[in-house]
Amino acid sequence: MFYSKRRKIYLLKHWIVICLLLWTTLSLYYIYTYSNFNLAQLKDLIPSEVSDQIAAILDADYPGFDLQQANTTESSVYRKMFKNTDSLAGEMLQIMKNYNLEERCELYFANVDTENGVIVDPAHDFQYNKFDYVAWDEYLRESLRKLKEDPEEDMEGVDDGVLEEQIRVKFEHAKAKIVADEQLLHDYFLHVKIFNKCYVDRDDGFIEKQKALLQGINFNARVPYFKSRFARSEPTGLESKVFPWLTQKSPDYEHLLTGTTTRLIIEPNNFLYDFRSKLSGKGIVLTISDSHLDDCIRLIHLLRFLENTLPIQIIYTELSESSKHLIKQASTAEFHGYMRQNIILVNVTPAIDEQYLYKFDKFGNKILAVLFNSFEEIILLDADTVVTQTPMKFFQLRKYTKSGTLFYHDRNTAEYRPGHDIDMFLKLMNTNMDAQLFGLEKITEKTKSIPLFRHRTSHVMESGLVVLNRARHFSQALIMANMYFFEPITDRIYGDKELFWLALSIMGDESFEFNAHPAAAIGQITPYEERIKGMQSPPGIFISEEVCSNHPAHINDEDNHTLLWFNSGFKFCNQLDKVDFEEEFNRHDRFTRLATLEQFRAFWEGKLVIASAVVPPQNNAGGQDTDPTGNEPRESWRHMEQYCGGYTWCAYSSIGSGQKPDDRGLVIRYTARERLYFEKLGEIWMSSYDYST
């Protein structure tokens, strides 16, 4: 009996232990399942009619969303998050109804793979080869031609079928690599955009809209427990993986007026967010190296004449002590009684990991200038930009006050990009999933109507002067930096020009504005006698007018008259080191009023005379359709590459007969008073100086 009682107690304890183990196992499984957010288990909890209702609401608010295509057209991270498209509607509902921005961010980055400890690798070797984008027939034809012309290739006796098959293997490998590279680029940019949304902008206003959108759906399934992966208050570990090129340290700010050097006090665990929070005031920003010193000094002189009151930050990675001294003298020494300038030299090298500093060569320095100046609102200038109005005026222009940006168009020349360039840029844009999960808006007709996308135009923006509210568009510079890292992007654009607006469109931020006019040519109207040279049957009069110039200029669209700024300095030809004076003089296509070589040289080296401006028509080509005589220009611009080392362009006020509104531009004739003002600006810019002592 005693034995029987002990056995019963033993068996009871045994079953209690088994039950505890089973309960523990189930609990751990439950916690593990939902800590990894495996929403596929909810598939059976959602009635089909509710799933259809969810899909209908999503389709109405996010047009074009295709449940069946989500796994093939979206980010590879989404493919990990949503492995079962049959339950995708319900999984999306769980996130959109119940998860805040922090939880969505944690979910996303929990599914992101790292490579060599980083999430976005600036040094990833994307090799871009335009030939890989051609169709099969051209690929085969060109490959065979190259093989036959290669003296090291022995083609005798090679079977054509075998050779074609070998070429096809290379062709298919090239196409597969393009797909893989573009997928990785899409993923990289989405990582950056989502990090910025979560930890820099911290913009969660869209979530309340989603809750209101979905409140009518009755779905009582239990909300799964979600285990935090990355603490919102300490994103530094994640930040260093997304931006491994940042050191999380402040640049050095050297104040030339006081002789002091300061650093921003920034929380290292929250660098980008904290840096953004410390932006203040308005200012002028430019970036130079020693080779830009002369242009920089002339710009400072011009700003003194314009009575500029804005502080100026000059961003650099390498600048000699001699250059620093000359900049200080140019800004503070006596100069015709004009006011001194407050200049701060900003050394950004402490903020950039030295192994990635090479990634910001040449035009990349302008990205550093946008990112690491300390102003909230900036006018970014090239060193050779000539500003003709007081800088504060740019912050008062209507388009800037509306959007926090103001961009200016480049020359609208008839130069075009291949279709695969456009396709690649579009693949970097936000998708419906991005909009639903993170409020990253898709592009609209505003972006699609920009000439790059509508007409495949090569040149859209001229970046010699950019006005930007950084508090409103802080993440733009981070997207620009990543665009500049990778060859498939940099080889498709010239320098930094298109990065400014493209970065905003890639972010889903279409709050940007362009000055309405394309770049103008400024100078003197070409005389009739010069335009008819070489014509067998010249017209009695031209419909169009022409100005040939080396300076893209920008006319205020608020009055269609005021010259705001132009590029390439004030010297008529700023490429003198590339000029063969005798050869150019003997061309006799234009500038024939310069009768001698000495006059020609003096004009080239002298200051630009601004009497008129021609803003060419928006329609940059097609004049042949309306001008049967052939005397009028067919395109808005003509490249006179025989002059000024290839930098001369002639603009036309109309193309063809000029009957269509888009075939007509604008001719501006400046008054005597305005011409005197421009002449004074030229004298200031061209004036000699000696700050060596």
pLDDT tens per residue, range 445-495: 999 999 999 888 888 999 999 999 999 999 999 999 999 999 999 999 888
Kindly tell me if the per-residue pLDDT of 43 is higher than 70.
no
- Residue 154, pLDDT score: 65
CA dihedral (577, 581, 582, 585) positive or negative: positive
Report the range of poorest mean pLDDT among 6-20, 71-85, 152-166, 345-359.
6-20
pLDDT(73) > 80: no
Would you call 186 helix, strand, or coil by DSSP?
helix
CA distance between the termini of the chain: 114
**β-strands 343-347, 252-255 pairing:** antiparallel
And the tokens for 386? 């000539």
Between 62 and 631, residue with greater pLDDT: 631
Phi, psi of 564 (to 5 degrees): -90, -45
Tokens of 203: 């913009």
The residue with greater pLDDT, 252 or 128, is 252
Query: Does the pLDDT at position 372 exceed 50?
Result: yes
Average pLDDT, integer, range 204-215: 82
Question: What is the Cα Rg of the chain in Å?
Answer: 31
Cβ neighbours of residue 518 closer than 8 Å, sequence gap 6 or more: 409, 410, 411, 412, 615, 616, 618, 620, 636
Identify whether the C-beta of residue 57 lies closer than 8 Å to the C-beta of residue 214: yes
32-35, Cβ contacts within 8 angstroms, sequence gap of 24 or more = 33/224, 34/224, 34/225, 34/226, 34/227, 35/225, 35/226, 35/227
> 496 — phi, psi (to 5°)?
-105, -5
- Residues in a beta bridge with 378: 283, 468
What average pLDDT score do residues 184-210 get? 92
Q: State the Cα torsion 268-273-278-282 to the nearest 10°.
A: 140
Compute the average pLDDT of residues 537-553.
Answer: 93
d(CA 476, CA 33): 37
What is the structure's pLDDT at 402? 97
Does the pLDDT of residue 217 top 90, yes or no? no
How is residue 185 written in tokens? 């680029």
Q: How many CA atoms lie within 13 A of 39 on its CB side?
A: 26
Are 369 and 296 spatial neighbours (Cβ–Cβ below 8 Å)? no
Query: What ranges do the domains of the chain cover?
Result: 245-384, 520-686
Structure-model confidence comparison of residues 684 and 233, the more confident one: 684
Shortest CA distance to 295 belongs to which of 323, 320, 318?
323
- pLDDT of 681 strictly over 90: yes
In this predicted structure, the answer to whether residue 683 has a pLDDT above a threshold of 90 is yes
Q: Are 411 and 637 in contact (CB under 8 A)?
A: yes
Query: Is 50 exceeded by the pLDDT of residue 50?
Result: no
State the maximum Cα–Cα separation within the chain, in Å, rounded to a whole number. Answer: 133
Q: Which two tokens stand for residue 269?
A: 């665990």
Who's near 684: CB < 8 A, 6+ residues apart? 301, 302, 305, 336
458: amino acid identity, one letter:
S
pTM recorded for the entire structure = 0.86
Cα(623)–Cα(521) distance, rounded to whole angstroms?
19
- Residues 6+ positions from 51 with CB-CB distance below 8 Å: 87, 89, 90
pLDDT at 534: 77
Average pLDDT over residues 52-79: 56
Query: What is the pLDDT at residue 212?
Result: 80
Closest CA to 105 of 194, 45, 181, 176: 194
**Average of per-residue pLDDT values in the chain:** 85
Dihedral sign of CA atoms 681, 682, 685, 686 in order: negative
pLDDT band at 543 (very low <50, low <70, confident <90, very high): very high
Q: Provide the β-strand partners of residue 386.
A: 566
What values do phi and psi take at 604, rounded to 5?
-60, -40
Q: Which residue has the higher pLDDT, 381 or 231?
A: 381
- As a whole number of angstroms, the distance between CA 531 and CA 611 comes to 18
Confidence band for 11, pLDDT divided at 50, 70 and 90? low
Tokens representing 316 are 């650099």
Average pLDDT of span 519-526: 97
Strand-pair partners of 468: 378, 405
pLDDT value of residue 150: 75
pLDDT bracket for residue 623 (50, 70, 90): low
Average pLDDT over residues 334-344: 95
Judge whether residue 146 has pLDDT over 90. Answer: no
44, pLDDT greater than 50: no
What pLDDT is attached to residue 666?
96
Q: Could you report the per-residue pLDDT of 585-621, keeping only the tens digit for each?
A: 999 999 999 999 999 999 999 999 999 999 999 876 6
- pLDDT band for position 68 (cuts 50, 70, 90): very low
- In single-letter form, the type of residue at position 688 comes to S
Amino acid 455: pLDDT:
86
**Residue scoring higher pLDDT (217 or 521):** 521
Residue 35 has pLDDT above 60, yes or no: no
User: How many separate helices (H) and strands (E) can be counted in the chain?
Assistant: 27, 17
